[in-house]
Structure 1
Amino acid sequence: MKVVIIDDEMAMHLIMKRMLAKVVGVEVVAIFQETTTAFAYLTDHHADLIFIDISMPKESGLEFAQRLRENGRQMKLVFVTSHKEYALAAFDVYAFDYIVKPVNQERLHHTVQRTLSEMRLEKESAEQKPSSTSSIRVMFNCLGGMEIRTVQNVIVKWKTSKSAELFGYLLMHKGRLVSRARIIEDMFGEMPQKNSEIYLNTTVYQLRKLLDNYGLKGNLYSDSNYYALDFNQIGVDSLSFEEGCKQMAVLDETNIEQALELQELYKGELFGERAFPWAWSEVERISLMYTSFTQRLCSALLIKGDSQTAIRLLMKLAAHNELEEETIKLLMKAMALQKNKDALTERYEQFTGTLHKEFGISPSLEVTTLYSQLLSELDQ
């Protein structure tokens, strides 16, 4: 896998290069301190993955990413930054991932391995003939919960909670081989080594038996040291949602209905209330993707004049994170579009009160200016 690093700090060049050297299958092919030279290089050279800082002189990492997308370049982008507040903006330009400095070796390794897995799946998908949905034997719904359903919509009962967890764990690795030692550490780390080995063997047996009921026994690969799950003939809502978000780079009247259907796939956070520690970064990544996609969808709905649908979706977002500024701004615009001055004022005052109560701060100038502007327009 060919990797490019773009960061204005020379120290980060050294740190990233050393950390990536520890990951098998990675070749750092170019390093840049600014985006102009990097863009020229990427015009004539291939890269599978780009690590780029957001805060850089002249052109930010986000602006650079936007320029790449506008030129039809679809290489995977990972933003590396000291600022968490840029996360949503990163997903607006279809970031593959978002890593907060200081970079952790394990976090970096996870990102690279996920990239390798997706590259392999993309290659296999391109080589295979398109198959009809009738080839799907079971559906795994992991957004908002963890359930398996047959194509006849019958819920399949998990053998044990650990077999469900193993399924989710292997799903997160997207077909990549995972070592027994890694699974034991992540899933059975609180047990003595001997007991954890036995529990893993039992859990694998239970999951394979469940899959065998639907002719999918061979989908769970294992040897003496590694495991992997092949999702051929298994539909997964989170994978469908992520792929749909990537395909709808532009939202307008031509695809709003399709986008609304896609938005409904997100029933809640990955794996629902099962807060697996090994899944935290993936839970956050998909949640940010959902927020970014829904905000773009609501912007398109407001342009269309459908404030009612926009408000419904935005209230759902606000319930998840009542302090997300872009969501609040869109809500205020939607309420102004409905000429509902009372609702607009109530939403702004509620946002202001929560900020003051929780953090002792006032809304940003951008929010207060928008509120004043919308009120003025309604008073005319």
Structure 2
Amino acid sequence: MLNVMIVEDEKPILDLMERLVGQQPLLNVVGAFTSPITALESHEELKPDAVFLDIEMPKMGGIELADKLRMQNEELQIVFTTAYPGYAVEAFRVSAVDYLLKPVTPEALERVVARLSKIHAMRSALNPVSADKEEATVRCFGTFQTRGQDGSPMNWPTRKTEELFAYLLAYPNRLVGKWQLADLLWPDLDEDRALHNVHNTVYRLKKALKDAGVGVDLSNSNEGYHLRMSPGFSDLERFRDFMNGTAEIDERNAPEGDKLLRSHAGPLFGGKDYVWSAGLAAEISAQQAGLARMMTAYYRRSGDRAAAKEALRVYLSYAPLDEEMTGELLRLYADDGEAGPLRAQYEQHVRRMESELGIAPSQEIRKLAAKFATASTEA
């Protein structure tokens, strides 16, 4: 995993970048700054592997900051962000790894992460004593992507190979029967053909994982197959481990909870239509809501209402139809007299409910919005 620092003088864009970068399983945000001077002062302590720098900043631009950071660490990987493509030549003068045009998209960021990971892997190979060993990572939230040892996304030989891996990831470290796999993945075939497909697909899966240098152990017996992996191998297991061991958020686990809330976003396996995954996806979705609920409660107990609202906004960005959490956010806005954000959130919720479900918001939410509108008018 690479530790990264983000420097962007506009706070809304900084928050967006922190959220996008935080969703990348290979990246860990160790610092986010609106002030390039503060970022420079903090660099020596944070020791990031890479930095995302806005080029156009007051007092000290991104190019100048990159020069100064490189003086402290010549191996620092630098990625520039800007709305103006004309800076490209000057950006690469300081040996930038890449150059992102605003608004930054998840797809563009994925491309940059692949480059950062490859460079880091190459340096690790050249200096194995001082470098940490990188472990291939599987991302199951919002997408389904497996990265090989070099950090690049794997290409599966068949869709069934990918689906088989998804099932074994969903139920790891246990024996999965071969007849069970045959029924799940090829329910319309006769038993002999289905079992033949299981054997062939397992062979393809083992070969694909070995060729990519993915560190898992897939063994077989007369009864079935067993995928052994470390708890941190997939974001699904990290999320499960945290939720299974957490009854409440406090000062000790709040940082990890916040990171999981931001990075473990979206539907399981990117919403792929695996028939067997529907129940599991619903279970994970309920746990995502539970984490957002716990984080919101923790921030409210701590008196940090701004952070409570942000936790709810993060969750609703990937679960916008959750009426309970929408109502919680609207109540926070109403209690703090924030008419603009309340109106915008309510109108967005109305559009979502109408376009995706063809229904109006619940009566409770409509009453809350109407009550606040009346109070604002009377005031």
Please give the range of the TM-score, normalised by the shorter of the 2 chains: 0.5 to 0.7
Structure 2: distance between partners of 1:292 and 1:223: 38
- Could you tell me how far 1:275 is from its partner in structure 2? 1.4
The aligned residue for residue 199 of structure 1 is 197
5+ unaligned residues in a row in structure 2: which ranges?
1-130
Cα distance in 2, alignment partners of residues 155 and 361 from structure 1: 41
SS of residue matched to 1:191: coil
TM-score (ref. length: structure 2) = 0.54
Show the counterpart of 2:85.
none
- Per the TM alignment, residue 342 of structure 1 is displaced from its structure 2 partner at its CA by 3.6
1:317 and 1:234 map into 2 onto residues whose CA distance is: 23
CA–CA separation in structure 2 for the residues paired with 1:218 and 1:342: 50
Cα distance, 1:187 vs structure 2: 0.5
Per-residue deviation, 1:330: 1.8
1:143/1:238 contact within 8 Å kept: yes
Are the equivalent residues in 2 in contact too, given 1:336–1:374 (CA < 8 A)? no
| Matched residue, 2:282 | 284
Distance 1:135 1:214, change over 3 A: farther
Amino-acid identity (%): 21
Q: Deviations over 1:34-74 (max 9, x none)?
A: xxxxxxxxxxxxxxxxxxxxxxxxxxxxxxxxxxxxxxxxx
Match of 2:47 in 1: none
The answer on 1:153 being equivalent to 2:151 is yes
Q: Do 1:137 and 1:214's aligned partners in 2 also have CA atoms closer than 8 Å?
A: no
Q: Whole-Å Cα distance in 2 between the matches of residues 202 and 291 of structure 1?
A: 39
Q: Which amino acid aligns with 1:186?
A: L
The alpha carbon displacement at 1:188 in A equals 1.3
Query: Could you say which residue in structure 2 is the equivalent of 1:368?
Result: 367
For 2:142, the aligned partner's letter is: G
* 2:292 corresponding residue in structure 1: 294
Partner of 1:230: 228
Distance 2:202 2:325 in 1: 43
CA distance in 1, matches of 2:370, 2:251: 27
Match of 2:218 in 1: 220
TM-score (norm 1): 0.54
Q: What SS is found at the alignment partner of 2:137?
A: strand
Give 1:38-187 correspondences, 5 Å limit: 137-150=135-148, 152-187=150-185
- Alignment check: 8 A CA contact 1:137 1:233 kept: no
Change (3 A) 1:250 1:264: same
Shift of 1:201: 1.6
CA distance in 2, matches of 1:354, 1:211: 40
Residues 226 and 251 from structure 1, CA distance in 2 versus in 1: closer, same or farther, beyond 3 angstroms? same
| Contact map agreement 1:135 1:233 (CA 8 A) in 2 | no
Cα drift, residue 168 of structure 1: 1.1
For the structure 1 residues 157 and 365, does the alpha-carbon distance in structure 2 shift closer, same or farther, using more than 3 Å as the test? closer
Deviations 1:77-127 (A, max 9, x none): xxxxxxxxxxxxxxxxxxxxxxxxxxxxxxxxxxxxxxxxxxxxxxxxxxx
Q: Secondary structure at the match of 2:325?
A: helix
2:132 & 2:363 partners in 1: Cα distance?
51
What's the counterpart of residue 3 of structure 2?
none
**Residues 215 and 347 (structure 1), Cα distance of their counterparts in 2 relative to 1, 3 Å cut:** closer
Letter in 2 for 1:284: A
1:239-272: CA deviations, max 9, x gaps?
Answer: 1012122334222455433321121231321111
3-state SS of paired residue (1:138) = coil
- Give the 3 Å change call, closer, same or farther, for CA 158–134 of structure 1 in structure 2: farther
Task: Output the CA distance in 1 between the equivalents of 2:354 and 2:270.
Answer: 30
Asked if the contact 1:352/1:363 (under 8 Å) is kept, the reply is no
What is the letter of the counterpart of residue 295 of structure 2?
A: L
**Residues 316, 217 of structure 1: CA spacing in aligned structure 2 closer, same or farther, 3 A cutoff?**
closer
Q: In 1, are the aligned partners of 2:339 and 2:376 still within 8 Å (CA)? A: no
- Tell whether the 8 Å contact from 2:168 to 2:227 is kept in structure 1 after alignment: yes
Distance 2:192 2:328 in 1: 55
Task: Give the alignment's Cα RMSD to 1 decimal.
Answer: 3.7
Q: What SS does structure 2 have at the residue aligned with 1:195?
A: helix
Q: 1:301: Cα distance to partner?
A: 3.1
Do the aligned residues in 2 keep the contact of 1:136 with 1:234 (CA within 8 Å)?
no
Any conservation in 2 of the 1:256–1:301 contact (CA below 8 Å)? no
Q: Residues 278-326 of structure 1, C-alpha deviation per residue, up to 9 Å, x if partnerless? A: 1110011001100121122123334545555544443454455544332
Q: Tell me the CA shift for residue 343 of structure 1.
A: 3.2
Contact 2:143 2:268 in 1 (8 A): yes
Once structures 1 and 2 are overlaid, which stretch shifts more, 299-308 or 187-196? 299-308
Are the structure 2 counterparts of residues 218 and 362 from structure 1 closer, same or farther at C-alpha, using a change threshold of 3 Å?
Answer: closer
**Aligned in 2, Cα 1:136/1:196: closer, same or farther, shift over 3 Å?**
farther
**Cα distance in 2, alignment partners of residues 217 and 353 from structure 1:** 45
The 8 Å contact of residues 352 and 362 in structure 1, kept in 2 or not, is answered as yes
Cα distance in 1 between the residues matched to 2:231 and 2:354: 51
Partners in 2 of 1:230 and 1:327 — Cα distance?
Answer: 37
Q: Tell me, in whole angstroms, the C-alpha distance in 2 between the residues paired with 1:267 and 1:355.
A: 20
